Amino acid sequence: MANTFKLSQESLGSLFAALRKDGRRILAPVAADGRVDLKEVEAPAQVAADYIQSVLSAKEVVFPKVERLLSYTTAPGKVDLKDAEPNAVPTVLFGVRPCEAKGFGALDAVFNWDYRDKFFNARIEKLAVIGVGCTKADESCFCTSVGGGPVDTAGSDILLTPIEGGYLVEVCTEKGAAIQALAPDLFKPGSGVDKAAIAAKVAPAFDQPALTAKLPGLFENGVWADQSLRCIGCGACAFVCPTCVCFDIQEEADPKKGERLRCWDSCGFHMFTLHASGHNPREVQGARWRQRVYHKFSYYPERYDRLGCVGCGKCTRACPVDMNLKEHLIEAAGVTA
Amino acid sequence: MSEKNIYLPYLMRIAEITEESPAVKTFRLEFIDEIAAQSFDFKTGQFGLYSAFGEGESTFCIASSPTRKGYIECTFREVGRVTAALADKEVGDIVGFRGPYGNVFPLEDWKGRNLVFIAGGIALPPLRSVIWNCLDLRDWFKDITVVYGARSVKDLVYKRELREWTERSDMKLVTTVDPGGETPDWRGEVGFIPPVVEGLGLRAENTVAIVCGPPIMIKLTLPVLEKLGFPPERIFTTLENRMKCGVGKCGRCNTGSSYVCKDGPVYTLAELNELPTEY
């Protein structure tokens, strides 16, 4: 169980200073130009205080949009290969939502279930997450339908829940304890807070275990094709998703040197599964939309014993044609096979 | 805590190039690094990612048999950017190889059984690895039959080996070309693979069938085998979904909860029947 404390709003600045003194950069949601994005900050005043979700997810911190896997130089009959290093910086991710914090576990499941991915691992090792629980939610949120909650500690090294004049602090992991140890005096004794009363109200939208159990039988159901009729295959849902991990590997090269890059990709793209022969196992958008749902709600549970969705609703907010994951899942859960 | 970079390929030198058919080539590749050459090991059925530096990686099976040490071979058709760049290479040039990846054909389980290999077109390379492996362990198995079909005589790959297999007395090779694809001196069958297989008088009893080919050929051959009495557990095939990582991460080959790169590429028909047909 987490050790609980209280931290005053004023002492948060001292905690930031202590983290920076320890050589860590602090990334936090920052509101600018009408949107919230993760940026490096120095002081709590820079952090977006009253936001629901950032547009992009925090996965970029451990899984960049584009990263070099290797580089090389070539000459006739000769290739010099150079390994790439992830160049991981000690980082504290401050103020992300509990759903996002939980997303890192879903990424870890893929990056390390068998072969270990050193790029992801170098970054996650140097990352500590200080989540801030939600006191507000919107109609896209559905964390409570996928095993999470607005003040859930899973995935956070420290979870802060806003209370009068500061935060309730739950130190959840050894990484969290190491942060506390940087400025132990800031952490005052605290307990007896009714978290549930403070937390945003996110009503459960559908019965996820029942949905997961019925998905294999719904594979050929017309519901997926119907839902995907307006999907334009833009991939925005995958790019903003905290757990979407599918990637492409591309070459950038000139005749004498080059590098191999890993780039975000999406199962929503036609090219994703296109064979060299022209055959495409997922020929139509309905099949690709179904893959997105099944990967998160059927294949992930079967393979990794966890969901590939944290219910943050970023995909719904980003979708240019108003596809709505929560509503679509409610509909699927109600289909009689 | 320095971990190994799983995306870093071996460097390989092209030792030999064989022109198999129009736009199809076989490379024999040798490791440049001595230690890698000594330690490298694979089993039949496995695949790898082959790099043309400057263009990227493509996925092909290892077409040679693990019983032949010191090199690996791949056979590919020039269809895209990477395979075009590979096709431009000459003997002595350097390419990359990552692997071996994926599961294997269970030869141990096939001991004492008859084997029937059925391949269409450019799908002979993955079976060629198994066929040579089985021929090199000849006394493990009973009758070995190979049925190989292509669109036309000029599309047949491994012509040298087809002659060698014809001459061997410890196996039977049946070659066929699609109607219209024959030449005046063609001595094989003329016809599509499924009816040729049906006419062979194969007995399913104690026999394993290994099938690989274009989707339409597989689709039409499987019912023939089922009609002959092959249970789905004794029909094997190898899938080649599009892949980028080869190590169960990039998500491209995901079919149902299976990753073709990890749980495959070798599947029995019984296993495939459990997966959505997204391959």
Comparing alpha-carbon positions, the chain A residue that sits nearest to B12 is A79
The mean pLDDT values, 10 residues at a time, for chain B of 279 residues are: 88 97 95 93 97 96 94 96 96 97 97 97 94 97 97 95 96 96 95 95 95 89 94 95 95 95 96 90
In-domain check, residue B243: no
In-domain check, residue B83: yes
Is residue B141 located within the same domain as residue B80?
Answer: no
Distance CA B133, CA A71 (A): 36
In-domain check, residue B191: yes
Residues A278, B261, B210, B61: is their CA dihedral positive or negative? positive
- Nearest 5 degrees, angle CA A108-CA A110-CA A115? 100
Comparing alpha-carbon positions, the chain B residue that sits nearest to A74 is B53
In-domain check, residue B155: yes
ipTM over 0.85: yes
Is residue B115 located within the same domain as residue B233?
Answer: yes
Q: Exposed e or buried b for every residue in A223-234, given b needs 16+ CB within 10 A?
A: bbeebbeebeee
Is residue B116 located within the same domain as residue B190?
Answer: yes
Is there a contact between A282 and B278 if contact means CB atoms under 8 Å apart?
yes
DSSP result, B42-88: --TT-EEEEEETTTEEEEEE--S-TTSTT-EEEEEE--SHHHHHHHT
3-state secondary structure of A187: coil
Quote the number of domains for chain A. 1
SS3 content of chain B, % helix, strand, coil (to 5): 25, 30, 45
Instruction: Indicate the residue type of A205.
Output: A
Quote the number of domains for chain B. 2
CA B220 to chain centre: 19
Strands A25-32 and A35-41: antiparallel
pLDDT value at residue A1 = 46
Is residue B14 located within the same domain as residue B73?
Answer: yes
Is there a contact between A260 and B7 if contact means CB atoms under 8 Å apart?
yes
Is there a contact between A265 and B2 if contact means CB atoms under 8 Å apart?
no
Section A64-91 average pLDDT: 95
**What is the span of the domain harbouring residue B16?**
10-101
First to last CA, chain A: 42
User: Peptide bond preceding B100: is omega within 30 degrees of 0, i.e. cis?
Assistant: yes
pTM listed for this prediction:
0.94
Q: For residue A2, what pLDDT band results from cuts at 50, 70 and 90?
A: low
Is residue B114 located within the same domain as residue B204?
Answer: yes
Distance CA A98, CA A135 (A): 11
Q: Which of A71, A248, A271, A273 is best to mutate for the B interface (most B CBs within 10 A)? A: A273
Residue in A57, A119, A63, A68 with CA at minimum distance from that of residue A262: A68
Residues A107, A113, A114, A119: is their CA dihedral positive or negative? positive
Is residue B142 located within the same domain as residue B219?
Answer: yes
Is residue B195 located within the same domain as residue B229?
Answer: yes
Question: Are the CB atoms for A252 and A259 separated by under 8 Å?
Answer: yes
Is residue B118 located within the same domain as residue B143?
Answer: yes
Section A278-283 average pLDDT: 93
Average pLDDT, chain A: 95
Is residue B230 located within the same domain as residue B121?
Answer: yes
Specify the CATH number for the domain of residue B68: 2.40.30.10
What does the DSSP 8-state code read for residue B9? P
Q: Which of B101, B131, B146 is the last residue in one of the domains? A: B101
Comparing alpha-carbon positions, the chain B residue that sits nearest to A304 is B257
Is there a contact between A281 and B255 if contact means CB atoms under 8 Å apart?
yes
Is there a contact between A114 and B248 if contact means CB atoms under 8 Å apart?
yes
Q: Which of residues 29-68 of B touch A (CB under 8 A)?
A: 53-58
Using a CB–CB cutoff of 8 Å, tell me whether B112 touches chain A.
Answer: no
Is residue B118 located within the same domain as residue B223?
Answer: yes
* pLDDT tens-place string over residues A138-169: 999 999 999 999 999 999 999 999 999 999 99
Q: For residue A192, what pLDDT band results from cuts at 50, 70 and 90?
A: confident
Is residue B115 located within the same domain as residue B203?
Answer: yes
CA B264 to chain centre: 13
CB pairs under 8 A between A and B: 129
User: What residues of chain B lie within 8 A of the CB of A264, using their CB?
Assistant: none
> What percent of chain A is predicted at pLDDT more than 70?
99
Section A216-244 average pLDDT: 96
Section A197-217 average pLDDT: 96
What token pair was written down for A5?
A: 């404390």
Is there a contact between A118 and B2 if contact means CB atoms under 8 Å apart?
yes
* pLDDT tens-place string over residues B90-113: 999 999 999 999 999 999 999 999
Neighbour-count burial of B267, counting CB atoms closer than 10 A to its CB (0-12 exposed, 13-18 middle, 19+ buried): buried
> What percent of chain B is predicted at pLDDT more than 90?
92
Distance CA A273, CA B258 (A): 15
Nearest to A77 among B54, B93, B277 (CB): B93
pLDDT value at residue B116 = 98
Residue in B273, B108, B57 with CA at minimum distance from that of residue A69: B57
**What is the span of the domain harbouring residue A54?**
3-334
Using a CB–CB cutoff of 8 Å, tell me whether B90 touches chain A.
Answer: no
Distance CA A314, CA A332 (A): 20
pLDDT value at residue B22 = 87
Distance CA A207, CA B208 (A): 45
pLDDT value at residue A50 = 84
3-state secondary structure of B14: strand
Neighbour-count burial of A150, counting CB atoms closer than 10 A to its CB (0-12 exposed, 13-18 middle, 19+ buried): buried
Question: Are the CB atoms for A262 and A66 separated by under 8 Å?
Answer: yes
Spatial neighbors of A324 by CB under 8 A, at least 6 apart, are: A140, A316
Is residue B91 located within the same domain as residue B132?
Answer: no
Distance CA B47, CA B241 (A): 12
User: What residues of chain A lie within 8 A of the CB of B8, using their CB?
Assistant: 69-70, 81, 83
